[in-house]
C-alpha cells in the first residue's frame, strides 16, 4: 500500500473516524476544523464523541505522528494527495439537503489544492453533488470522487476497519482507484461506479433501512390487533434468507443523524426530478404516524379520557436515538417526548450517556441523574432507548417508586415476566400485556 498524505475537513463522527482510521492504516492525516476549542482538545487526545475505540485510535495517531489537527483548512490541504470533505449536510428548507458547508469549503480550498490531488465527498450528498463540487473548484487538474460512508454510530470504528463494502464513484477511474487504494488491506468488496451511482447507493441504503423499520412497526400494530407476538412473527420471516432478520425490529420510530434527513432529501430529489416513488413517502409518513399512535396509547392509559396529560408526571428512560451513543439528533425518544409535552405531560428523564454532557433540554423535560430520580412519583415509565442497563434495574424498587404500576416498553427491551413478578404491567410493541417471553 502506498502511504498517502490525507487531509480531512470536518471532525464530526464521520470526519474524526475517517481521519483516525486512515492514520491507523498508515497514512499521514491532517484533520481540519474551524472550532478552535475542539481542535485544542483533539490535539490533547480528548475526544468528545461517545464512540468505542475512537479515543484510543486518536491518541495512537497523535503519538505516532501520523495524525494531526489544525484550524487552518487551506494549510491542511496544501500538500495533500487526497482531501476528504466530511461536512454536515443537514435537512434544509422543504427537506432538501443543505450543502452550504460543502460549497463554502470547496470555495475556500480551490486555490490551495495541489495539482493532481483528489477531492472526496465523504458526506452524504444528493445526486449531482460531485459535479457541483467540481464546478465550484473549477480545477481540471483536480478530480472529484464520491466515497460515501456507511458508519453506524456506536460501531463507527469497526465499520470503517471491517466494512461490508467500499463504494467509490468518479468519472476519472484513475482517481477512483487512488481513493480505493487508501483502503488496501481491508477485506471488503469494492464497488467502482460513477459519482451519481455512488451518491445513490448511500441514499438508497438508508431509505431501505428506514423502510424495514417502518415495516416492522406497522407489522407490530397488526400483531397487536390479532393478539400475535411481533417478535415471533419477525423471527419466523427472518429465517427466509431473502428477507433476513437484520434491522427489522419494532421500536419508537426511526431517527438519528442520517435516516430522517436522507429519506427526506431523496424524496425531495424524486419530486424535483418528476420521479414518482410512493414507497418512500409512505415510509416517512408511517414513521410519523407510528409515533403518534404510541403517544395515544400513553394518553389512553394515563388520563381519564379527556385527551390531556396536564399535570401527569411521566418517567422516561433513554433519550439518545439509540444505545451506545449520546447523539440526540432526530431522536425518536425526543420526538415522542415532544408529543407528550404538547399534551401537557410533565417529563422527567434519564439517559446514561447524558450524565456528563448534560444537554439543555429544560424546555422539554427535567434531566435526572439516576433512573430512580426520573421514575419517582411518575404515573408511568416509558423505555425509549434500548440501553442494556435498563434491564438490570431493580424493578421491585421501581414498582415502589412509580405512582402507577405501568411500564411502556417501546423498545421491547424488558422481560415482561420479570416485571410482572415485580408487580408491574409491561406494555410493549406488537405484544399484549399478557404475553410473556
Residue 406's closest CA among 383, 435, 387?
383
What is the pTM (predicted TM-score) of this model?
A: 0.92
Task: Report the 10 Å Cβ neighbour count for 110.
Answer: 16
Say if 201 falls within a structural domain. Answer: no
C-beta separation of 53 from 154 below 8 A:
no
Same domain, 225 and 187: no
Same domain, 164 and 228: no
Instruction: Note the pLDDT of residue 93.
Output: 84
Instruction: Note the pLDDT of residue 331.
Output: 97
User: CB-based contacts of 208: which residues, under 8 Å, 6+ apart?
Assistant: none
Same domain, 323 and 424: yes
The cell for 299 is 394518553
258 is catalytic: yes
pLDDT digit of tens for each residue in the chain (437 aa)? 688 999 999 999 999 999 999 999 999 999 999 999 999 999 999 999 989 999 999 999 999 999 999 999 999 999 999 999 999 999 998 899 999 999 999 999 999 999 999 999 999 999 999 999 999 999 999 999 999 999 999 999 999 999 999 999 999 999 999 999 999 989 999 999 999 999 999 999 999 999 999 999 999 999 999 999 999 999 999 999 999 999 999 999 999 999 999 999 999 999 999 999 999 999 999 999 999 999 999 999 998 677 889 999 999 999 999 999 999 999 999 999 999 999 999 999 999 999 878 899 999 999 999 999 999 999 999 999 999 999 999 999 999 999 999 999 999 999 999 999 999 999 999 986 554 44
Same domain, 233 and 345: yes
The DSSP line for 185-245 is: T----EEEE-HHHHHHHHHHHHHHHHHHHHHHHHHHHHHHHHT--HHHHHHHHHTSTTT-S
CATH code of residue 171: 3.40.50.720
Same domain, 38 and 105: yes
Same domain, 298 and 189: no
Same domain, 17 and 75: yes
Same domain, 227 and 368: yes
Same domain, 245 and 137: no
Asked which of 163, 193, 223 is the last residue of a domain, the reply is 193
Instruction: Note the pLDDT of residue 434.
Output: 52
Say if 135 falls within a structural domain. Answer: yes
Residue span of the structural domain in which 147 resides: 5-193
Please identify which of the residues 258, 302, 381, 426 carries the catalytic annotation. Answer: 258
Q: Helix 259-273 vs helix 195-226: angle between axes, to the nearest 10 degrees?
A: 110
Same domain, 327 and 430: yes
Q: How many domains does the chain have?
A: 2
d(CA 138, CA 125): 19
d(CA 69, CA 89): 22
Say if 229 falls within a structural domain. Answer: yes
Say if 85 falls within a structural domain. Answer: yes
Same domain, 187 and 230: no
Say if 200 falls within a structural domain. Answer: no
Instruction: Note the pLDDT of residue 124.
Output: 93
Say if 75 falls within a structural domain. Answer: yes
Say if 205 falls within a structural domain. Answer: no
Question: How far from 346 is each of 69, 233, 290, 312, CA to CA, in Å?
Answer: 44, 36, 22, 6
Say if 133 falls within a structural domain. Answer: yes
Same domain, 171 and 249: no
Amino acid at each position: 500500500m502506498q502511504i498517502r498524505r490525507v487531509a480531512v475537513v470536518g471532525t464530526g463522527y464521520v470526519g474524526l473516524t475517517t481521519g483516525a482510521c486512515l492514520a491507523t492504516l498508515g497514512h499521514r492525516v491532517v484533520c481540519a476544523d474551524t472550532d478552535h476549542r475542539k481542535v485544542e482538545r483533539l490535539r490533547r487526545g480528548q475526544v468528545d464523541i461517545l464512540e468505542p475505540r475512537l479515543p484510543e485510535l486518536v491518541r495512537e495517531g497523535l503519538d505516532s505522528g501520523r495524525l494531526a489537527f489544525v484550524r487552518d483548512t487551506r494549510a491542511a490541504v496544501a500538500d495533500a494527495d487526497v482531501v476528504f470533505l466530511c461536512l454536515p449536510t443537514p435537512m434544509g428548507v422543504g427537506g432538501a439537503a443543505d450543502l452550504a458547508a460543502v460549497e463554502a469549503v470547496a470555495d475556500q480550498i480551490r486555490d490551495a489544492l495541489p495539482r493532481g490531488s483528489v477531492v472526496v465527498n465523504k458526506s452524504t450528498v444528493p445526486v449531482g453533488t460531485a459535479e457541483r463540487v467540481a464546478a465550484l473548484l473549477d480545477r481540471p487538474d483536480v478530480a472529484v470522487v464520491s466515497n460515501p460512508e456507511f458508519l453506524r454510530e456506536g460501531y463507527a470504528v469497526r465499520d470503517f476497519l471491517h466494512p461490508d463494502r467500499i463504494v467509490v464513484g468518479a468519472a476519472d477511474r484513475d482517481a477512483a482507484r487512488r481513493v480505493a487504494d487508501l483502503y488496501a488491506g481491508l477485506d471488503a468488496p469494492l464497488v467502482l461506479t460513477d459519482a451519481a451511482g455512488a451518491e445513490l447507493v448511500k441514499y438508497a441504503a438508508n431509505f431501505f433501512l428506514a423502510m424495514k423499520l417502518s415495516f416492522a412497526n406497522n407489522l407490530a400494530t397488526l400483531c397487536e390487533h390479532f393478539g400475535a407476538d411481533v417478535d415471533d412473527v419477525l423471527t419466523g420471516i427472518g429465517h427466509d434468507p431473502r428477507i433476513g432478520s437484520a434491522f427489522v425490529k419494532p421500536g419508537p420510530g426511526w431517527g438519528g443523524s442520517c435516516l430522517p434527513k436522507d429519506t427526506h432529501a431523496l424524496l425531495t430529489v424524486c419530486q424535483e426530478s418528476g420521479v414518482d416513488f410512493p414507497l418512500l413517502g409512505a415510509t416517512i409518513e408511517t414513521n410519523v404516524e407510528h409515533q403518534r399512535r404510541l403517544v395515544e396509547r400513553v394518553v389512553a392509559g394515563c388520563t381519564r379520557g379527556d385527551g390531556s396529560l396536564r399535570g401527569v408526571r411521566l418517567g422516561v428512560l433513554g433519550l439518545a436515538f439509540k444505545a451506545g451513543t449520546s447523539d440526540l439528533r432526530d431522536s425518536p425518544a425526543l420526538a415522542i417526548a415532544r408529543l407528550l409535552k404538547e399534551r401537557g405531560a410533565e417529563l422527567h428523564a434519564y439517559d446514561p450517556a447524558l450524565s456528563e454532557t448534560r444537554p439543555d433540554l429544560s424546555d422539554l423535560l427535567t434531566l435526572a441523574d439516576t433512573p430512580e430520580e426520573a421514575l419517582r412519583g411518575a404515573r408511568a415509565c416509558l423505555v425509549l432507548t434500548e440501553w442494556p442497563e435498563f434491564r438490570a434495574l431493580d424493578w421491585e424498587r421501581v414498582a415502589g417508586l412509580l405512582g402507577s404500576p405501568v411500564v411502556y416498553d417501546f423498545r421491547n427491551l424488558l422481560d415482561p415476566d420479570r416485571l410482572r413478578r415485580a408487580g408491574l404491567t409491561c406494555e410493549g410493541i406488537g405484544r399484549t400485556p399478557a404475553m410473556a417471553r
